[in-house]
């Protein structure tokens, strides 16, 4: 008795092995799941240009405006009343036409208060405004 016959070697495989196809499908699915959120959040922006814009800002013409969560406003670390802020900013703008302001809002400052300060800067004629932020630290979840 022959244990291994030659007939078994001659018979053709009639069923398709789908395991490699499923592996390929799952790998592609994982790749698309990882790359799709990155593609949705990225934007192809073309920044407007201007022939009169200056790229450099003189550090002596930069003023720091801080707003904490209790809506206390400080101009260069000196407390200032909101009513006095617009006139003070307008006088600084008259003295220094290339005045730039760095706004340091508190993380918990309501958005409406932030917009109000931005409106005061706009009314004073200050167009060079930057918002100071700090990088997220690993492990911090917003609060």
What is the SS3 assignment for 56? Answer: coil
Provide the residue ranges of all domains of the chain, joining segments of one domain with +. Answer: 15-41, 59-131
Whether the model pTM is above 0.75:
no
* Residues present in the chain in total: 143
Q: pLDDT tens, 56-81?
A: 556 666 888 888 888 788 888 888 88
Residues 98-122, mean pLDDT to the nearest whole number:
84
Sequence-separated (6 or more) residues with CB below 8 Å from residue 139: none
Closest of 69, 82, 65 to residue 130, by C-alpha: 65
Which residue is it, tokens 């490699």? 20
Closest of 120, 81, 82 to residue 101, by C-alpha: 120
pLDDT at 6 over 60: no
Q: What is the pLDDT of residue 49?
A: 55
Cβ–Cβ < 8 Å for 109, 70: no
pLDDT at 91 over 90: no
**CATH number for the domain whose boundaries are 59-131:** 3.30.420.270
Highest mean pLDDT among 30-34, 45-49, 129-133: 30-34
Average pLDDT of the chain to the nearest whole number? 76
């Amino acid at each position: 008795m022959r244990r291994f016959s030659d007939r078994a070697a001659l018979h053709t495989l009639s069923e398709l092995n789908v395991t490699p196809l499923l592996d390929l499908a799952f790998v592609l699915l994982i790749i698309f799941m990882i790359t799709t959120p990155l593609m949705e959040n990225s934007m192809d922006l073309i920044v407007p240009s201007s022939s009169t814009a200056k790229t450099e800002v003189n550090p002596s013409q930069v003023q720091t405006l801080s707003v904490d969560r209790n809506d206390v406003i400080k101009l260069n670390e000196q407390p200032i009343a909101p009513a006095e802020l617009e006139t003070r900013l307008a006088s600084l703008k008259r003295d220094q036409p290339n005045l730039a302001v760095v706004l340091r809002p508190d993380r918990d400052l309501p958005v409406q208060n932030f917009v109000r300060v931005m409106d005061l800067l706009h009314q004073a004629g200050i167009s060079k405004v930057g918002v100071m932020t700090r990088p997220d630290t690993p492990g911090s979840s917003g609060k």
